[in-house]
Amino acid sequence: MTTTSLRRLIAGSSIALGLSAFGGAAVAQDEGPIRVGILHSLSGTMAISESTLKDEMLMLIEQQNEAGGLLGRQLEPMVMDPNSDWSLYAEQARDMLTGDDRVDVIFGNWTSASRKAVLPVVEELNGLLFYPVQYEGEESSENIFYTGAAPNQQAIPAVDYLMSQGVERWALLGTDYVYPRTTNKILEAYLKDHGVSDDDIMINYTPFGFSDWQSIVSEVSDFGSQGKKTAVVSTINGDANVPFYNELSNQGISASDIPVVAFSVGEQELSGIDTAPLVGHMAAWNYFMSVDSDANYDFIDNWLDFTGNDDAVTNDPMEAHYIGFNMWLQAVESAGTTDVDAVKDAIIGVTVPNLSGGASTMMPNHHITKPVMIGEIQDDGQFSVVWQSPSAVAGDAWSDYLPESANLISDWRAPLRCGKFNVESMTCEDGPGAE
Amino acid sequence: MTDNRLSAGQRLARLLTLSLLLCLLSAWGTSAVAAVSESQARTLLDALDTGNFQAKGEAAQAIADSDAEQKMRWLQALLDGRLGKERRGDRFYIITDDSGREWPIIDAISYEDAGTGTRRTVDAFRINNDLRTQLQGIMASLSLASGDEASRLQAADRLLGEVSSDNVETVRRTLADEESPAVRERLEMALALHAVAQGDAEALETLRGNLDTRVRNALTPIAAGDDALAEQTRAVLDGIENKRAWYSRAQTLFFGLSAGSILVLAAIGLAITFGVMGVINMAHGELIMIGAYTTWLIQQALPGQPGLALALAIPGGFLVAGAFGVVIERTVIRFLKGRPLETLLATFGLSLMLQQLVRTVFSPLNRRVSSPDWLQGSWQINEALSLTLNRFGVLLFCLAVFAALWALMRFTRLGLEVRAVTQNRAMARAMGIRATRVDMLTFGLGAGVAGLAGVALSQLTNVGPNLGQGYIVDSFLVVVFGGVGNLWGTLVAGMSLGVINQVLQPWVGAVLAKVFVLVGVILFIQKRPQGIFAPKGRTS
């Protein structure tokens, strides 16, 4: 036997081994229940928001199993608790994606920090992650599906709405981390494009859990008393919102003086506040519990029955999971397998009904189309929709308003298969298409 | 100038409001309300069924102008978002209670009971901010028959900067008939502002030193010119700005003292346990949290009486947190005497356990502690200076707690014994003081004061399992900065750190302000390790 043929034999047998290993994995995947990983914090600071999403996923899985499961198999939830610790998210995602009980899909994460921690893990182990929260954009991963809003589906339309209401001065208040900083950078660029001068923009960041709002609110009130209509754009996250809104009402700033439009305050967050002094302040989302559609009313009824609590509320990230889960179901059905690569290809273009009476489609950049809504807070803690985009808006992974990302697009379809394609130089900066 | 930028709708709304205000002021209005037929009523309400907010505003105005006797109730229900139309039908309803899934509803025209409605069967008419403002104006003018001083004052206040050649005569006539001095003052201000805009320099005198921002904003463009009037206006403006600057400094000082009072409250218990006993108690923050949760529990037991609950929470929070403190001292700390590192680790573990205990018992979600009415809103001293009542209350509470604690240490036997044990433990024991009992009571006292801090904090921030964590570092900072074992030091240190922080905040932001304060304290401690006030005499 010559060396060449020996080499061939080794190469051939290793390929065979690889193939059989692959086949074995495929066989193991195709029997027994389909595993759905749920990676939401059930303790720590994010538990307030995230534990609801875990319950919602359990409800959706239960409903699907009652309806006959998926591909004739049952769905089995696998719940983890990363304890609001960003590095624990990555560790637990790794646990979920390795071993015999590897999950077929993960629904999870809330903060951008935790998503950034999980991203390398799902890319390395080729997992699927559905991320349900509005975020800052400037990212597109082959393995992540972003079912929450990108800035062009939330922040930009909200600013447009306020401009149409005559607002000329802008206070951008945010919590000090990646989402508010990136969003405010985009908004600042956008406002300047629209002729707003530097003097008419105020930017302020505060730490997580901040509660001493007195001087900042007084500064905003001063900023807003210069004779021009002023609005606050708030990317304040988590429980810092409660003292913020309390301070606003204590200092007597009502929505008719200086309206606040928030991107992280929903029905869940308002359930801890007396909303009577906040009537008229706004939030921008893609869904509100008060949205008028039969699909929404069915969803609310199911949710109230599932939780056994008549006061339970639904919110935008819950709708995002509802859409994401149904998209995944449909993609698996059409691919006929839960194999990650097959599902990734099958899900692009999948269209499912959303809760506001329309439909959402998965775009090639792994973002979805959603209607944009502006709601005003009511005294019962709900929002009343005062503006809605005429049609669904497709999420833009790379903002057109930042010079560094204006030329970038993302398209995960073959043959491009690139998450960061520069249309000017026609090169792929990130993704399999780069090679 | 500004008018050019307003849309036609806004201009209309503004004109409308203005004419309403004038009606209100001249106490004009017909109260002759006659019933309208059902079909007329239906037409009136049907006009509200549109997605266009401007059309809705016109429909609301039409209702106000009509003779329908139900119009006040309709407008109020519209304002509350409780006026609606049957989804698949043409009846109009008023929702009498919109909590829960099924709402009791009544017919909007006949007021007959119409059973229950749900989100699926009743479409409530929506309003937005502009429409809300407009509705409030309409309703104010409708309830004008009463025409009391408060509503006239409000109306006069809204005239400021809105007087034009169209309505100046009406305003003058109103002024001539008006008797209330407060309303007269507002009207004179509004007229003077108009007169200055027309080039009348004498009217400037009325506006000298006026703190209302609308006066300043109206004068600024006039001062931009280069004639004599502009010069005089500039002088008046400078006076106004100067005065405002002083008030704004006073406001910053208040913010600083208020922030400082929270620091002092949080730290003063620690000043006793750490300063006097030398125990590094990492669970101090959790004792604060226990005080806050006690407030919440008492409020749950006394629904609808937040004021009484808060008053009861003061002794309650002190006793509960104090009891926890005594138990901690008896079970953990006394066995670790003289071993600071182990005390630190043990109390740190204890703090985690207490947090988890609260999470298990009360859930990890924040609890809402409501404030009594007298701690809501603000005390408006003048146009430029107002003090929020909850923070003012906490500031007073802090001073009261400090005074009580100081008196306790200075005048009571316990205070004497504590001071004796602090100065020389062995000698104190030789004099017959039971040092272990003093330790226990001192620790309980420190814990109880932490509980009081929790009661105060429940009025300012979220009550949740992590409440204490945010204050533990700040508390140590204040105690070390002020000088270990010195109550006055804690007071001065807490207040000055609060003021420094609030002065820095507008310049560098909340995050950097905190960093600067921390670096400043570290440098200060390097230079003067004993803190602001050095302990007198020998320490054991």
Query: Under DSSP, is residue A433 helix (H, G, I), strand (E, B) or coil?
Result: helix
* Nearest of A161, A96, A153 to residue A122 by alpha carbon: A96
Q: ipTM of this complex > 0.90?
A: no
Residue B452 pLDDT greater than 90, yes or no = yes
- Asked whether residue B295 carries a pLDDT value surpassing 70, the answer given is yes
Q: How many CB pairs under 8 A join A and B?
A: 135
The pLDDT score that the predictor gives to residue B14 is: 59
Interface of A with B in 330-369 (CB under 8 A): none
Cα–Cα distance between B392 and B389 in angstroms, integer? Answer: 5
Confidence of residue A18 (pLDDT cuts 50, 70, 90): very low
Distance in angstroms (rounded) separating the CA atoms of residues A316 and A325: 14
Which chain B residues have a beta carbon less than 8 Å from that of A43? 359, 364
| pLDDT band at residue B24 using 50, 70 and 90 as cut-offs | low
Residues B180-196: what's their mean pLDDT?
A: 83
Q: How confident is the model at residue B447 (pLDDT cuts 50, 70, 90)?
A: very high
Q: Is residue A403's pLDDT more than 60?
A: yes
Q: Is residue A268 classed exposed, middle or buried when 0-12, 13-18 and 19+ CB atoms within 10 A define those classes?
A: buried
A146-150, B241-245, B363-367: least confident range: B363-367
pLDDT at A303: 95
What pLDDT, on the 0 to 100 scale, is given for residue A5? 52
Q: What is the structure's pLDDT at A338?
A: 92
Write out the DSSP string of B208-229.
TT---HHHHHHHHHHHTS-SHH
SS3 A91: helix
What pLDDT, on the 0 to 100 scale, is given for residue B402? 95
Nearest to B129 among A242, A280, A380 (CB): A280
> Which tens digits make up the pLDDT trace of A210-262?
888 998 999 999 899 888 899 999 999 877 888 898 899 888 888 888 999 99
- The rounded distance, in Å, linking the Cα atoms of A224 and A254 is 12
Between B163 and A211, where is the model more confident?
A211
Please check whether residue A214 touches B, CB under 8 A. yes
pLDDT given for residue A127 in this prediction: 95
pLDDT digits (tens, 9 = 90+) for A125-157: 999 999 999 999 999 999 999 999 999 999 999
CA distance A130 to A115: 10
User: Do B119 and A259 make contact, defined as CB atoms within 8 angstroms?
Assistant: no
Cα A186 from chain centroid (whole Å)? 17
**Contact yes or no for B140/B25 (Cβ under 8 A):** no
Residue B24 makes CB contacts below 8 A (sequence gap 6+) with B140, B141, B144, B147, B151, B152, B155
Residue B145: predicted pLDDT: 45
CATH class of A34-150+294-370: alpha beta
What tens digit of pLDDT does each residue of A48-95 get?
Answer: 788 899 999 999 999 999 999 999 999 999 999 998 889 999 999 999
Contact A376 B128 (CB under 8 A): yes
pTM greater than 0.90: no
CATH level 3 topology of A155-262: Rossmann fold (3.40.50)
CA dihedral B349, B354, B355, B359 (to 10 degrees): 140
Instruction: Indicate the pLDDT class of residue B32, thresholds 50, 70 and 90.
Output: very low
CA distance A430 to chain B (A): 34
Contacts of B368 in chain A (CB under 8 A): 242, 272-274
A380 pLDDT band, cuts 50/70/90, is confident
pLDDT of B16 > 60? The answer is: no
Give the confidence band of A30 by pLDDT, cuts at 50, 70, 90: low
pLDDT band of A115, cuts 50, 70, 90? very high
Domain residue ranges in chain A: 34-150+294-370, 155-262, 403-435
Rg of chain B taking only CA atoms, in angstroms: 31
Q: How confident is the model at residue B274 (pLDDT cuts 50, 70, 90)?
A: confident
B 417-476 residues inside an 8 A Cβ radius of A: 460-462, 464, 466, 470
Q: Which of A177, A212, A292 is the best mutation test for B, with the most CBs of B within 10 A? A: A212
| CB-CB under 8 Å, A384 with B510 | no
Determine the pLDDT at residue B1.
Answer: 39
pLDDT of residue B23: 53
Q: What is the mean pLDDT of chain B?
A: 84
Predicted pLDDT at A77: 96
B496 touches chain A (CB under 8 A): no
For chain B, domain boundaries: 2-26+34-138, 146-245, 246-527
pLDDT in tens, B36-69: 788 888 888 888 888 788 888 888 888 888 888 7
CATH of B246-527, one of 1.10.3470, 1.10.30, 3.40.720, 2.60.120: 1.10.3470
Q: Does B364 contact A at CB distance below 8 Å?
A: yes
Answer whether A251 sits within 8 Å of B388, measured CB to CB: yes
Taking CB atoms and an 8 Å cutoff, what residues of chain A touch B53?
Answer: 386
Please tell me the predicted confidence (pLDDT) of residue A56: 96
Strands (E), B111-167: 113-117, 122-124
In angstroms, the CA B359 to CA A43 distance is: 9
